[in-house]
């Protein structure tokens, strides 16, 4: 992408009402646009980041047997009444609307009910199970407070997976696989070292659910971490009998603020029994399907990455998340040879499938560097009169600042190693 053609502009300051670091940096760098509190648009760079996150999650969900679907965001009240979740006193984040004939409709805040009812049409016998379906779908939630930038939207993209199993053991086995898949996602997203599997209340149907909580001062949650065991508990778990059953001691737990980047639940036969989602077991007996659900907020994760991986100058994207791998910066001062060289380098990278942003704009070096720092692409390639006469390209790492002069013939090797 030639930066002269990119319609987004960087800006020196964020809107006054935007208090979070994630939205401030993302707005300033041109990744997102703020419509109103809790409502954001994703612009070309931001869209590419979301697509990279989607790709990672998709690969990890496919690897554990997930089948991708896409359910409607418009929801039938009847199934929500069946599970007693239509009433605003039960679910307090509903956006509801009406058809022309005055009948009610919900804008999906989650998809347990429609997913379970859909699956009933396709599951009849024990041979049809287990099955796993997931989607990337827009959720609408009328959140009371939306003060965490893209980490708490009133409309947001969620990956939600649902597991349909014959019995508890089958659910347990899949749940453990999902935990590992989630760990892989957060590792690849660059926040694995700060993200803890966190015991949370499971409601009435299983002892616990699990949150994936990322340590961060900008987080809305509070957790208590046992660094040695690599696990944490949330506030609701800080009771002596619970801590004992988890084998952790109050004295060794360290309190920290955190961001809930993911959440997984074992529902057992909650929802499926109410909705009549059953299968015939080996004896021909009707049994309720055993259900689980597994969520990750893509915007929440993107915001968490920005909160954790940025410095005074801007964002520092991890490799797999970055909108582009390389950022070519031509400092020509009108020198045609520099422009030709930079154009050649851009073609070379393109030919090797390296996603590149090419700053071909007619701007001062200082402005280009400041924009590049703000945007946060992992590797910067500087082409100038100076680098030409030294016989190469200056390669600068965004994360470490390390600078090396690399000859053009070696540049592809340098960019594709590791």
Residues that bind ligand ATP (CB under 6 A): 110, 141, 143, 152-153, 156, 158, 260-263, 295-297, 299-300
**Residue number, 79 or 123, with CB nearest to ligand ATP:** 79
Rounded to a whole number of angstroms, the minimum distance from the CB of residue 298 to ligand ATP is 8
Give the nearest distance from C-beta 299 to ligand ATP in angstroms.
5
**CB-count burial class (<10 Å; 0-12, 13-18, 19+) for 133:** buried
Distance, CA of 93 to CA of 71 (rounded, Å): 19
Output 136 or 358, the one with its CB closest to ligand ATP: 136
> Min. distance of Cβ 297 from ligand ATP in angstroms?
3
Whether residue 354 contacts residue 312, with contact meaning beta carbons closer than 8 Å, is answered with no
Q: Closest approach of Cβ 262 to ligand ATP, in Å?
A: 5
Question: How far is Cα 172 from Cα 122, in angstroms, rounded to an integer?
Answer: 22
Interface residue with Mg ion, options 3, 263, 310, 384 (CB under 5 A)? 263
Q: Which does 197 bind (CB under 5 to 8 A by kind): Mg ion, ligand ATP, none?
A: none
Per CB under 5 A, 135 contacts Mg ion: no
Q: Which residue is nearest to ligand ATP (CB)?
A: 297
CA-based Rg of the chain, rounded to a whole angstrom?
Answer: 25
When CB distances are held under 5 to 8 angstroms depending on the partner's kind, the choice from Mg ion, ligand ATP, none that residue 300 binds is ligand ATP
Cβ neighbours, 10 Å, residue 240: 9
| Binding partner of residue 373 among Mg ion, ligand ATP, none, CB cut-off 5 to 8 Å per kind | none
Count the neighbouring beta carbons within 10 Å of the beta carbon of residue 17.
10
- Pick one of ligand ATP, Mg ion, none as the site partner of residue 30 (Cβ within 5 to 8 A by kind): none
Q: Is the peptide bond before 219 cis (omega within 30 degrees of 0)?
A: no
Binding partner of 128, given ligand ATP, Mg ion, none, CB within 5-8 angstroms per partner class = none
Q: Closest distance between ligand ATP and the C-beta of residue 207, in Å? A: 17
Q: How many helices (H) and strands (E) does the chain have?
A: 12, 23
Instruction: Kindly write down the DSSP assignment for every residue of 282-326, as one continuous string.
Output: TTS-EEEPEEEEEEEEHHHHHHHHHHHSEETTEE---TTT-S-SE
Q: Which is nearer to ligand ATP, 51 or 311 (CB)?
A: 51
- Reported as type and span, the H/E element at residue 172 is helix 168-188
Contact residues for Mg ion, defined by CB under 5 A? 263
């Amino acid at each position: 992408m030639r930066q002269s053609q990119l319609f987004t502009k960087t800006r020196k300051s964020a809107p006054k009402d935007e208090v979070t670091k994630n939205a401030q940096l993302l707005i300033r760098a041109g990744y997102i646009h703020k419509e109103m509190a809790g409502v954001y648009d994703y612009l070309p760079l931001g869209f590419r980041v979301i697509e990279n996150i989607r790709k990672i999650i998709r690969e990890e969900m496919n690897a554990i047997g997930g089948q991708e679907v896409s359910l409607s965001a418009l929801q039938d009240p009847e199934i929500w009444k069946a599970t007693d979740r239509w009433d605003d006193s039960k679910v307090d984040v509903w956006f509801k609307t009406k058809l022309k004939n005055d009948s009610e409709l919900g804008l999906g805040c989650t998809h347990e009910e429609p997913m379970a009812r859909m699956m009933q049409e396709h599951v009849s016998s024990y041979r049809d199970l287990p099955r796993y379906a997931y989607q990337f779908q827009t959720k609408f939630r009328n959140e009371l407070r939306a003060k965490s930038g893209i980490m708490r939207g009133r409309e947001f993209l969620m990956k939600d997976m649902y597991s349909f199993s014959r019995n508890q053991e089958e659910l347990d086995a899949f749940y453990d696989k999902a935990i590992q898949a989630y760990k892989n996602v957060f590792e690849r997203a660059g926040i694995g070292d700060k993200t803890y599997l966190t015991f949370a209340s499971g409601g009435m149907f299983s002892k616990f659910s699990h949150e994936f909580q990322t340590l961060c001062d900008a987080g809305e949650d509070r957790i208590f971490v046992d660094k040695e065991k690599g696990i944490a508990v949330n506030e609701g778990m800080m009771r002596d009998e619970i801590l004992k059953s988890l084998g952790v001691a109050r004295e060794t737990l360290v309190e920290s603020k955190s961001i809930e980047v993911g959440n997984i639940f074992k529902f057992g036969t909650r929802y499926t029994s109410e909705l009549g989602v059953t299968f015939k077991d080996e004896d021909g007996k009707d049994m309720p399907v055993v259900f689980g659900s597994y969520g990750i907020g893509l915007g929440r994760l993107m915001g968490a990455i920005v909160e954790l991986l940025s410095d005074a100058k801007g964002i520092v994207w991890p490799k797999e998340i970055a909108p582009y791998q390389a950022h070519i910066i031509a400092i020509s001062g009108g020198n045609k040879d520099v422009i030709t060289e930079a154009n050649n380098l851009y073609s070379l990278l393109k030919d090797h499938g390296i996603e590149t942003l090419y700053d071909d704009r007619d701007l001062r070096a200082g402005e280009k560097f400041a924009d590049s720092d703000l945007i946060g692409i992992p590797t910067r390639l500087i082409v100038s009169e100076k680098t030409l006469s030294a016989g190469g390209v200056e390669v600068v790492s965004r994360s470490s600042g390390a600078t090396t002069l690399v000859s053009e013939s070696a540049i592809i090797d340098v960019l594709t190693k590791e």
